[in-house]
Amino acid sequence: MATRTPTQRKAKQTIARPPKPRMTRADKLAATRSTLMAAATEIVGAEGYGDASVAKITARARVAQGTFYNYFQSQQDLFDQLLPELGTQLLDHIRARIAGSPDGLKREEIGFRAFFEFLAETPEFYRVLNEAETFSPKAFRDHMSNMIRGFVRALQRSQEKGGLPGYSTDELEVIVCVLLGARNYLAYHFVTRTGHVGPVPDWIVRAYMKFVAGGLLYGGTSGPTYRPKRAPASNGADAAGVEGSRVVTTGADSAVLELRVQDGHRDPTGTVRRGVLLDLAASVAELAASGERVPPPVLLNLAVSVLAPTRAGRLVASAQCEPRRAEAIHVALTIHEDRRAGAAVMTAQATFTEPVRSPRKTDR
């Protein structure tokens, strides 16, 4: 038998691997619980809550059934913890993806893609979520509350920075429910139902973001309840719409407004807030549509085709009624920087209708 030289013995000692650190009792407990939760996710995701059992879960986790009760009081106790824990993992995944991204539409797109990434990695989530309302109402309520509260806080931060013009703070919860509902139904229709595996297709993202962009950027501009803000006249000028605006010209079917941009009209970056532009647009359109009509027509819709950021100190809005069609009044409008021939900031189309007249009371 050959004898190893000191150099050979030293080389072997050099490549020897260090011993693995020993797991503490707490580490072992956490690892076993995590294994049980992962097994429960797989069983419920494949067979549903109704066919899941402690025996199946422990068999999948490769632990004794008695061990299960060291971590959960009952099978229902595990069910009540399953969805909220998966929901926390989902939120952690989304937060990691959007960390450092700017507020606004890009952030929403990243979060939307991250939701589908998580669904691809954890396809069982959809069934765990949708059956929980029946088999684990507590888990379902806790999960929905966590999701809604977190999303609302994110939108509140965006609103504080000048985002979501046209929405009140109370309305943010409605927006969150709409967006979460959209994700859930899109997940079913394009992923769960079809068995799609992998990232969400780009065309779905584009369609979703078109919808979101219209709703979040131009919120509050559609429907008969939207009315532009009114400001009192000052210095003999006829103020209309946004504070600091004045009527330049007005006719039977046209109008021009000028706005001297004030500090309160700008967001923290110095850009004129979208809500200010939308109010100015609605105001000039209403002036053009009103003419000599008493009472004035009702704004039904303000459809914006171009809305560009601006830091101009002066804006000029002009509107012109189009030939009347049926009961509707259509108004084309533009907002330019500094003068009517300046750079275009907005182009839009407003639709008005005549107000419903209340029948006169007759003497009896």
**Count of the separate structural domains present in the chain:** 2
Tell me, yes or no, whether 132 and 173 share the same domain: yes
Written as six digits, the tokens of 127 are 């069934």
* CATH code of the domain covering residue 345: 3.10.129.10
* CATH code of the domain covering residue 188: 1.10.357.10
Q: Which amino acid is at 165?
A: P
Query: Does 139 map to a domain?
Result: yes
Tell me, yes or no, whether 91 and 213 share the same domain: yes
Tell me, yes or no, whether 323 and 261 share the same domain: yes
Rounded Cα distance between 67 and 187, Å, is 36
Rounded Cα distance between 179 and 90, Å, is 16
Query: Does 298 map to a domain?
Result: yes
pLDDT at residue 222, rounded to an integer: 41
Tell me, yes or no, whether 80 and 200 share the same domain: yes
Return the higher-pLDDT residue of 197 and 255. Answer: 255
Range of the domain at 99: 73-217
Query: Does 107 map to a domain?
Result: yes
Query: Does 295 map to a domain?
Result: yes
Tell me, yes or no, whether 193 and 308 share the same domain: no
Rounded Cα distance between 1 and 67, Å, is 51
**230-257: pLDDT as tens digits:** 443 333 344 456 788 888 888 888 999 9
Tell me, yes or no, whether 84 and 171 share the same domain: yes
Is 101:110 a contact under the CB 8 Å cutoff? Answer: yes
**27-37: pLDDT as tens digits:** 889 999 999 99
User: Rounded to the nearest 5 degrees, what angle is found at the Cα of 24, between the Cα atoms of 19 and 27?
Assistant: 110
Rounded Cα distance between 247 and 286, Å, is 12
**288-323: pLDDT as tens digits:** 988 766 677 888 778 887 788 889 999 999 999 987
Residue 116 has pLDDT above 90, yes or no: yes
Written as six digits, the tokens of 162 are 């000048």
Query: Does 332 map to a domain?
Result: yes
Average pLDDT over residues 66-89: 96
User: Rounded to the nearest 5 degrees, what angle is found at the Cα of 249, between the Cα atoms of 287 and 300?
Assistant: 15
Structural element, H or E, at residue 351: strand 344-353
Tell me, yes or no, whether 182 and 311 share the same domain: no
Tell me, yes or no, whether 278 and 332 share the same domain: yes
DSSP 364: -
Q: Which amino acid is at 301?
A: N
pLDDT at residue 233, rounded to an integer: 38
Q: What share of the chain is helix, strand, coil (3-state, %, to 5)?
A: 50, 15, 35
In total, the chain counts a number of residues equal to: 364
Q: Which of 46-55, 72-81, 171-180, 220-229 has the lowest mean pLDDT?
A: 220-229
